[in-house]
Amino acid sequence: MPRFRTERDWVAGDMSWLGSGHGLRNARTEILDISAFTAATHYPNGYIPSGMPVAKVGGMLVPYDATEGTVTGAGILAGFILTDTPLFVNPGSTANAADDTNVPLLDHGRVKVGKLPITFVAPAAAAKSAAVQFVFI
């Protein structure tokens, strides 16, 4: 028997954090490691919101660690999730965990820091943002 799931209509989300259209057409596809995110902090409404800052660890996206001394792994900004990303629970999972999912990642452009979905401080150390090119406004 096939596994059915109900989906609701999704839109791009609140993209007011974007400071320009630059980079939108060049967002690349990456895999989001859902197990690294906390429901209450990162997706209280059942989806990862547009503008979530992320890092790339082990080939997958995890929450960005803004701690200034962290310049490896989760401490290196990979970019921002471009659109809201709904999380779907894997029906075969005993832990009721959501599946890892593909997301569009913005890795260059302009970002309005005050409009991001979580508190974000632009990285001061060059090593924390070496893989991206952003103008933070």
% residues pLDDT > 70 (the chain): 83
Enumerate the H helices of the chain as residue ranges.
Answer: 39-42
Q: Is residue 8 part of a domain?
A: no
Mean pLDDT (the chain) is 85
pLDDT recorded at residue 4 = 54
Q: How many domains does the chain have?
A: 1
Q: Give a yes or no: residue 17 inside a domain.
A: no
**Any domain includes 131:** yes
Q: How far is CA 65 from CA 8, 52, 72, 87, 121, in A?
A: 31, 12, 10, 22, 10
Residue at 65 is within a domain: yes
For range 103-124, the mean pLDDT: 93
Asked, for residue 10, whether it belongs to a domain, the answer is no
pLDDT of residue 3: 54
Residue 88 is part of which domain span?
A: 24-136
Task: Name the residue among 75, 80, 89 with its Cα closest to residue 126.
Answer: 75
Q: Give the per-residue pLDDT at 89.
A: 61
Task: Give the type of residue at 79.
Answer: G
pLDDT at residue 62 greater than cutoff 90: yes
Residue 20: C-alpha distances to residues 6, 11, 34, 61, 98 (Å) = 34, 19, 28, 24, 32
Nearest residue to 17 via CA among 53, 43, 48: 53
Which CATH number covers residue 96? Answer: 2.40.300
Q: Which pairing describes strands 133-136 and 77-81: parallel, antiparallel, or unpaired?
A: unpaired
Give the pLDDT of residue 104.
Answer: 95
How does pLDDT run across 2-31, given as a tens digit for each residue? 555 555 555 568 999 999 988 888 899 999
